Amino acid sequence: MVYKSFTLVAIAVIAINSVAAKKPLWHELDGYTFAKYVVDFKKGYALDSSEFALRKTIFDAKFAKVTAHNSAPSSWKRGINHMSDRTVEELGRIKGLNKKLLFSQQTEAPLNVHVSSKAKDPSVVDWRQLAGALTAVKDQGECGSCWTFASTETLESQWFLKTGKRECLSEQFILDCTPNPQQCGGTGGCAGGTAELAYARLKVLGGLPSEYTYPYISGMGGNQSCKGTFPLQPARAHSGAESAAANVTGYVNVPSNDADAVMDAVANIGPLAISVDAGDWHDYESGIFSGGNHTNPELDHLVQLVGYGETTEGQYWIVRNSWTTEWGDQGFIMLNRSTACGEDINPLDGNGCANGPPTVKVCGQNGMLFDAIYPLVE
């Protein structure tokens, strides 16, 4: 066992500094206004435009929700961030888990299942504390590509822990080159997918290029075409061609809804890709999150589990998101380590997948124990 302790262009009306102000924390919001918000977050709404009026209405409602929550006792705080003026539809686009495909996969036996290390797990694991184990927090933009980000981030972590090499890998390659053959409520790319889909495809294609040779360009929501000659050849310096900076030989599923197995895997194997219901995450700022729909969670987002711990407020999981460092606690969220279960009653809404279950039992805060996975590398 390895031990780890580990911007408003205010058109001649409002003068603004050319450098954005520091993001306000929850306890600094007294008297905060939309005019200040558009300066702090470099929004580009003309003062006399209909969009300015719309965004102000949305922001004012979000601000009221944030202040009401923070005035009551709670283990976590809401805050203001770059998404505080977005519509429900816009917020929906920054997820991207194709849960229909995720649930259809549960009807088949996993190729590899995580086996417990039988070791006593440390009380605290935080992979952020091991230099190289995580790359910097990323930004998926307006594309529903969370599934490629969490898959890539977890491969980056496993590649470092296996080889000692820190690589920043390409989300765009997975996005471009991984079709969704079952057309389960989407077509892959910015329309969603799963980590299982990504890792199975990377095994066939010969690995994953680096971010530098195959950069992310779908931040505005557009799909691109797949580039490369397959299977990819190992990366070579100055080659100028798509090549594999890391490979994938398969993947391992952690037993579904098993908190002990998830803890063992993240402690002894490393960071994991997990599926969650992120419907109430958008204005999270700090603390141990316990919000959301506990009775009928709807898994719609893929993120990276990077550890766990506990404070006087309770036990928590440490989760990395792909919504920039302006979101949450520098891009991270602590989730309550609850093992309570709910039921996703709409796994097959939309077009659905053939032979998928009508309802699915999901456990843990925001359903995070349902589907945890890590890639195999060599």
Question: Do 117 and 199 have their domain in common?
Answer: yes
Residue 46 lies in a domain: yes
Residue 211 lies in a domain: no
- End-to-end CA distance of the chain, in Å? 19
- The catalytic residues are 146, 301, 321
Phi, psi of 306, deg, nearest 5:
-120, 10
pLDDT average per 10 residues of sequence, the chain (378 residues): 34 31 88 94 90 96 98 97 95 86 70 87 96 97 95 98 97 91 62 91 96 94 89 82 93 96 97 96 98 93 97 96 97 98 69 57 96 96
> How far from the centroid of its chain's Cα atoms is residue 266's Cα?
16
What is the CATH number for 133?
A: 3.90.70.10
> What total of structural domains would you count in the chain?
2
Give residue 19's pLDDT. Answer: 41
Question: Do 197 and 54 have their domain in common?
Answer: no
In terms of residue numbers, what domain contains 163? 92-206+247-376
Question: Do 299 and 179 have their domain in common?
Answer: yes
Total-model pTM:
0.90
Question: Do 67 and 185 have their domain in common?
Answer: no
Residue 315 lies in a domain: yes
Q: Which of 85, 100, 118 is the last residue of a domain?
A: 85
307 CB-near residues (< 8 Å, 6+ apart): 4, 6, 124, 125, 126, 127, 128, 266, 271, 317, 318
Residue 242 lies in a domain: no
Question: Do 59 and 111 have their domain in common?
Answer: no
Q: Please, is 12 exposed, middle or buried when counting C-beta atoms within 10 Å of its C-beta (0-12, 13-18, 19+)?
A: exposed
Give residue 37's pLDDT. Answer: 96
Residue 166 lies in a domain: yes
What is the CATH number for 59?
A: 1.10.287
> How far from the centroid of its chain's Cα atoms is residue 353's Cα?
23
Give residue 181's pLDDT. Answer: 63
Residue 129 lies in a domain: yes
Strands 284-289 and 332-336 turn out to be parallel
Give residue 283's pLDDT. Answer: 97
Q: Please, is 358 exposed, middle or buried when counting C-beta atoms within 10 Å of its C-beta (0-12, 13-18, 19+)?
A: exposed
User: Which amino acid, residue 34?
Assistant: F
Question: Do 181 and 328 have their domain in common?
Answer: yes
CA 198 vs CA 49, 228, 281: distances in Å: 42, 16, 24
Residue 330's CB is within 10 A of a number of other CB atoms, namely 12
Picking from 85, 33, 38, 142, the residue whose alpha carbon sits closest to that of residue 283 is 85
100-136 in b/e form (b: 16+ CB < 10 A) is: bbbbbbbeeebeeebeeeeeebbeebbbeebeebbbe
CA distance 91 to 252: 31
Residue 9 lies in a domain: no
CA distance 144 to 134: 22
Give residue 4's pLDDT. Answer: 40
Residue 225 lies in a domain: no
Question: Do 55 and 186 have their domain in common?
Answer: no
Question: Do 182 and 291 have their domain in common?
Answer: yes
Strands 360-363 and 284-289 turn out to be unpaired
